[in-house]
Amino acid sequence: MNNLLQEKLDQAVSILQEKGVAAWLTFVRETSQVHDPCLDLILGLELTWQSALIIGRDGQRIAIVGFFDTDNVRNTGGWTEVIGYHQSLREPLLDALKRLDPAQIAINTSENDPAADGLTHGLYLVLTGLLAGTPYADRLVSAEEIIGALRGRKSPGEIARIRRAIATTEEMFAALTPRLRPGLTEIEIAALLQADLAARGLEPAWSREHCPIVNAGPDSTPGHAAPAHHRTQRGHLLHLDFGVKQDGFVSDLQRMWYFLDEGESGPPDDVRRAWDACWAALEAGRAALKPGVMGWEVDAAARSALVAAGYPEYQHGLGHHVGRTAHDGSTILGPRWERYGRSPYGVIEPANVMTLELGVAVPNRGYIGLEEDVLVTETGAEYLSTPQKELWCI
Amino acid sequence: MNNLLQEKLDQAVSILQEKGVAAWLTFVRETSQVHDPCLDLILGLELTWQSALIIGRDGQRIAIVGFFDTDNVRNTGGWTEVIGYHQSLREPLLDALKRLDPAQIAINTSENDPAADGLTHGLYLVLTGLLAGTPYADRLVSAEEIIGALRGRKSPGEIARIRRAIATTEEMFAALTPRLRPGLTEIEIAALLQADLAARGLEPAWSREHCPIVNAGPDSTPGHAAPAHHRTQRGHLLHLDFGVKQDGFVSDLQRMWYFLDEGESGPPDDVRRAWDACWAALEAGRAALKPGVMGWEVDAAARSALVAAGYPEYQHGLGHHVGRTAHDGSTILGPRWERYGRSPYGVIEPANVMTLELGVAVPNRGYIGLEEDVLVTETGAEYLSTPQKELWCI
C-alpha cells in the first residue's frame, strides 16, 4: 500500500474514534462521471458500479464494489475485506452492516463543505431505498466533521508534497521575472507559465484557462477571469495568481510586479502605501491563525486591519485549505456571509495548510493581491511559501 | 460563442418544449471539487460560489454566479442574462424565479443516470432551504429526461468529434500491431499505447491506470484491472480495451490479436467458433438497435444469441452511450439487473452514439472481447468504427 493511503486510512480510523462515530460509508458509482473527492483520500481509484466503502471505528475497512473492480481495490492494500458483486450490491451491503451493526453511519453529505458533499442526491435516494425497512435507515448522519478533519489535518506525506509544489511554483515565478517587460499582454504572460508547466510535465493547480490568472494594469478585473489583451506598462502593476499540481498536491500563490516609470527607482507612494497596508492586514490574519480559533475570527483580524488603514474590504474570504485541490474544502477563513454557510465557523487545527490572501485596487496602477500558503502549528502559523515582502520591480 | 455550446443550448430549449418542462435549473458550487457533468454541456467552465444556471422553455438563459465568475460566464456568449452576486445568491435567485414563474423546475437528480445526478445531497438541502416558504419549493422535478435527451442526442459537432477520436484510436491500433510479438507483458503493451498517446498530446478516454485494459492469455482476468505481468504467447489471445479523448470527446473500442502457434496459418477452431459466436451476437444486438426500442431489448437480442450458440452470458451490459466520457450516462443497453436501476428501460433515439460490446473466455487461449461504436440513425445503427470482423494474427 502506498504510504499516503496508509496514513489517511489510519487517520480516518482514529478520527472516527475521536468523534465517537461508529462507521463511515462512502457510497459512489461511475466516479469518472461524478467524483466524490473523498475517494482520493481513501482509495485513489475510480469505481464503476454502485460501491460502498465502509470504515469502522474498530479499524475494519470493507469495500463492496462491482466484480470487475475487485482486483484493483484489493491491490491498493488498504481494505481489509473486498467483496465483489455481479447484479446487486444490496445483499453484501446489508450483510456487512449487519456484521458491523454501527450505531451511526456517517455519509458524505454537507450543506457547508463541498469537499464533504460528494454523495449525489440521486444516490442518497438509492441508499435510503436500500436501507428502507432495516434498522440502519435511521442511523445516517453527516460525515462533514470526519471528512473535514481527515482532509484538513495534513499528514507528513501530504505536507511534504505541498512544500514541493510550492517550491516548484516559486522557481517558476523566479524564471518568469527576467522575461517580463512592458508591452506584454496577459495572454502572453500566461503562455510563458503554461509553457514552463508543460516543460516540467506538470498540471496547473486549477482549470487551465484560468491558471494563471493575470491582471496587467488598472483596466484588468481581478477575480477568476481568463487572461485577456491588457498589456503591461510602465507605472502599472502586474498581478499573478497561480499554482501547480505536483504528485497530486497543489500550491496557490499570488505574486506582484511593478513596472518602474521613467526616473523611478522604486514603487511610487500610492502603490507602496497600499502594499504596506495589505501586508499589515495579512500579517494580522496570520497572527490570529492558530488552533482553536474559528475561521471567521482570522478573516476579521485581517479585514479590520485593512479597513482601519483606510482601504475597502476585500469581497472574498481571507483564506482556504490547500491540499489535493486549491480549494480543499472544510473551514473557510471567511466572513459570516450567507454564501459561505457554516464554513467560517469551523475551528482551526494543527497541521491545517491554508492560504492567506487579500488585496486592494490602486487607482491608475492596477490590483495588488497577496497570497501565501501557511502551515498551522500547535501555537501559530508558519509560512510554507517564501513570503513576497517586497514588490518585484522591472 | 463556440458552436458546440450553441448547439447544446439550442437543443436544451427545444427539449424543454418537447418534454413540457418550464425551466431547468443547474445548481452547483466549487465545481472543480465536485463537478456536475451537465456543466460541460451548457457552460464549459468551472464555477466557484453557489451558482444557478436557469434555462427556460421560452429560450431565456439566466446565470446567477459569484461576482468573480461573471466575466467568464458572459464571455461564453451562451447566457442571455448574467447576474453576479457578492454575499448571497438568495435574492437574485428568487427574483429570477419570480420573473420566470415556472410551473416546473427540473433539477439534476436521478437515481438511475449518474450523468443526470450532478446535484449533491448537501446542495439539494441548500436549494430547498433557499426555496422554503416560496411557491417554487413544490415545483422541483427531476431533470433526468431532459439531461438524458440532451446528452444522448448528439449534435453534428459532437458526432464529428467522436468520429475523429475513433479514427485516431484506429490509427493507434494499426501502429501497434507491427510492434506486437510473443513475450511482451501487458504492462509493456500498455506502455506502447501510452507513449503514442503522449506523442499525440492526447489523454486516455478513462483513467490512465486502466486505459488501455490489456489481457494476454487465459490467466488474465478481463474487466477493469490494470495491466499486469502476463505475457503474450503463441497459441494465446491478446485483448485490448482502449479509447482516447480528443477535443473533449472519446472513443471506446476493444481489439483482438491471436499469436499463431507453430504450423498454424489462422486461428484454431475453438477460437474461431467463439469469435463467430461473439460476432453473431453483436450483430444481433446491432440489428435490434433502433429508435423506439428499450435498452434492455437490445441487450437481450445479443445475450440470447450468445447463449443460443452455447456460450455463457456476459456479466455486464451490451453497451452504453459514448460522448464526452466513455460511460456517457442515460440509457444502458443492459439486462434488467438491480444494479442498473431504470437505465435499461430508456428508449433509444436517433443520434445516440453507443458501444456494442460482449465477449467470452476461450479456455487455455484467453478472452475474446468485441467492442464497436455505433450511431443510431432513423432506421437502425451504423458503425462509426471500422468493425474488426477478423482476428488480427501475429
| CA end-to-end span of chain A | 49
Contact A341, A335 (CB under 8 A): no
Yes or no, beta carbons of B224 and A325 under 8 Å apart: no
As for how many domains chain B has, the answer is 2
Q: Same structural domain for residues B102 and B142?
A: yes
Q: How far is CA B267 from CA B237, B275, B391, in A?
A: 10, 10, 8
- The residue type found at B103 is A
Contact B51, B69 (CB under 8 A): yes
Q: Same structural domain for residues A167 and A142?
A: no
Q: So what's the pLDDT on residue B224?
A: 66
Res A325 pLDDT > 90: yes
Q: So what's the pLDDT on residue A1?
A: 53
CA atoms within 13 A on the CB side of B215: 26
- State the average pLDDT over residues B269-279: 97
Confidence of residue A377 (pLDDT cuts 50, 70, 90): very high
Rounded Cα distance between A222 and B50, Å, is 19
- State the average pLDDT over residues B10-37: 96
Q: What mean pLDDT, rounded, does chain B reach?
A: 95
Residue in the block written with cell 460528494: A118
**Predicted confidence (pLDDT) per residue in B171-180, tens digit:** 999 999 999 9
Which CATH number covers residue A107? 3.40.350.10
Q: Which of A11-15, A196-200, A302-306, A382-386 has the lowest mean pLDDT?
A: A196-200
Res B113 pLDDT > 70: yes
Q: How far is CA B206 from CA A35, A62, B45, in A?
A: 13, 25, 20
Kindly state whether A112 is in contact with chain B, defined as any CB-CB distance less than 8 angstroms. yes
Res B2 pLDDT > 80: no
Taking phi over 0 as left and psi of -120 to 50 as alpha, with beta for the rest, B87 belongs to alpha
The answer to whether the peptide bond before residue A212 is cis (omega within 30 degrees of 0) is: yes
Yes or no, beta carbons of A339 and B89 under 8 Å apart: yes
Res B51 pLDDT > 90: yes
Kindly state whether B2 is in contact with chain A, defined as any CB-CB distance less than 8 angstroms. no
Last residue of a domain, one of B151, B176, B203: B151
Complete DSSP assignment for B64-103: EEEGGGHHHHHHHS--SEEEEESS-SHHHHHHHHHHH--S
Task: Label the pairing between strands A105-107 and A23-28.
Answer: parallel
Last residue of a domain, one of A104, A132, A151: A151
Q: Same structural domain for residues B199 and B220?
A: yes
Q: Same structural domain for residues A106 and A209?
A: no
Rounded Cα distance between A318 and A302, Å, is 7
* Residues above pLDDT 90, as percent of chain A: 90
Contact A357, A370 (CB under 8 A): yes
Contact A120, B35 (CB under 8 A): no
**Predicted confidence (pLDDT) per residue in A181-227, tens digit:** 999 999 999 999 999 999 998 999 998 888 999 999 999 987 767 89
- State the average pLDDT over residues A309-334: 94
Q: Which residues contact A68 (CB under 8 A, 6 or more apart)?
A: A48, A84, B222, B223, B224, B225, B316
Residue in the block written with cell 466549487: B30
C-alpha cell at B192: 506502447
> How many Å lie between the alpha carbon of B226 and the closest alpha carbon of chain A?
7
| CA angle in degrees (0–180, nearest 5) for A300-A302-A304 | 65
Q: So what's the pLDDT on residue A224?
A: 66
A 10 A CB-CB count for A179 gives: 11
**Predicted confidence (pLDDT) per residue in B197-230, tens digit:** 999 989 999 988 889 999 999 999 877 678 989 9
Which residues on chain B are in Cβ contact (under 8 Å) with A126? 111, 341
Yes or no, beta carbons of A30 and B86 under 8 Å apart: no
Q: Select the residue of B71, B121, B339 nearest A109 (Cβ to Cβ).
A: B121
Task: Label the pairing between strands B23-28 and B105-107.
Answer: parallel
> Which chain B residue is nearest to residue A325, measuring alpha carbons?
B33
Contact A333, A320 (CB under 8 A): yes
A213 by DSSP, 3-state: which? strand
Yes or no, beta carbons of B207 and A32 under 8 Å apart: yes
**Predicted confidence (pLDDT) per residue in A225-283, tens digit:** 789 899 999 999 999 999 999 999 999 999 999 999 999 999 999 999 999 999 999 99
Q: So what's the pLDDT on residue B330?
A: 85
Q: Same structural domain for residues B175 and B318?
A: yes
Q: Same structural domain for residues B163 and B132?
A: no
Q: Same structural domain for residues B146 and B223?
A: no
- State the average pLDDT over residues B249-258: 98
Kindly state whether A311 is in contact with chain B, defined as any CB-CB distance less than 8 angstroms. no
> Which chain A residue is nearest to residue B111, measuring alpha carbons?
A122
- State the average pLDDT over residues B267-291: 98
> Which chain B residue is nearest to residue A144, measuring alpha carbons?
B122
Rounded Cα distance between B342 and B226, Å, is 30
Q: Quote helix, strand, coil % in chain B, to nearest 5.
A: 40, 20, 40
Residue in the block written with cell 487572461: A227
Kindly state whether A30 is in contact with chain B, defined as any CB-CB distance less than 8 angstroms. yes
**Predicted confidence (pLDDT) per residue in B307-316, tens digit:** 999 999 998 9
Domain of residue A211, residue span: 153-393
Rounded Cα distance between A35 and A43, Å, is 12
- The residue type found at A225 is A
Q: So what's the pLDDT on residue B351?
A: 97
Res B1 pLDDT > 70: no
Q: Which residues contact B72 (CB under 8 A, 6 or more apart)?
A: A210, A224, A225, A226, B45
The answer to whether the peptide bond before residue B212 is cis (omega within 30 degrees of 0) is: yes
Contact A42, A64 (CB under 8 A): no
Q: So what's the pLDDT on residue A309?
A: 96
Res B152 pLDDT > 90: yes
Res B137 pLDDT > 70: yes
What's the pTM value of the predicted model, to 2 decimals? 0.88
- State the average pLDDT over residues B148-160: 95
- State the average pLDDT over residues A58-75: 94
Which CATH number covers residue B242? 3.90.230.10
Last residue of a domain, one of A132, A151, A170: A151
Rounded Cα distance between B146 and B151, Å, is 9
Q: Select the residue of A49, A112, A325 nearest B32 (Cβ to Cβ).
A: A325
Phi, then psi, of A64 in degrees rounded to 5: -115, 110
Characterize B286-298 residue by residue with b for buried, 16 or more Cβ atoms within 10 angstroms of its Cβ, and e for exposed: bebbbbeebbbbb
- State the average pLDDT over residues B13-21: 97
Q: Same structural domain for residues B19 and B72?
A: yes
Q: So what's the pLDDT on residue B68?
A: 86
Contact B232, B216 (CB under 8 A): yes
Q: Same structural domain for residues A146 and A225?
A: no
- State the average pLDDT over residues B168-188: 97
Cα–Cα nearest to B220, from B238, B241, B194, B193: B238
Q: Same structural domain for residues B90 and B227?
A: no
> Which residues does residue B366 pair with via DSSP β-bridges, in sequence order?
B362
Q: Same structural domain for residues A130 and A197?
A: no
- State the average pLDDT over residues A46-52: 93
Q: Where are the strands (E) in B195-302, listed by range? A: 203-204, 213-216, 237-242, 244-246, 249-250, 253-258
In what order do the strands lie in the sheet containing B244-246?
Answer: B203-204, B244-246, B249-250
Is the model more confident about A328 or about B175?
B175
| CA end-to-end span of chain B | 49
Rounded Cα distance between A332 and A329, Å, is 8
Rounded Cα distance between B206 and A33, Å, is 10
| CA angle in degrees (0–180, nearest 5) for B257-B260-B263 | 165
A 10 A CB-CB count for A182 gives: 16
Count Cβ atoms within 10 A of the Cβ of residue B377 and give its class: 0-12 exposed, 13-18 middle, 19 or more buried. Answer: middle
- The residue type found at B173 is F
Q: Same structural domain for residues A147 and A228?
A: no
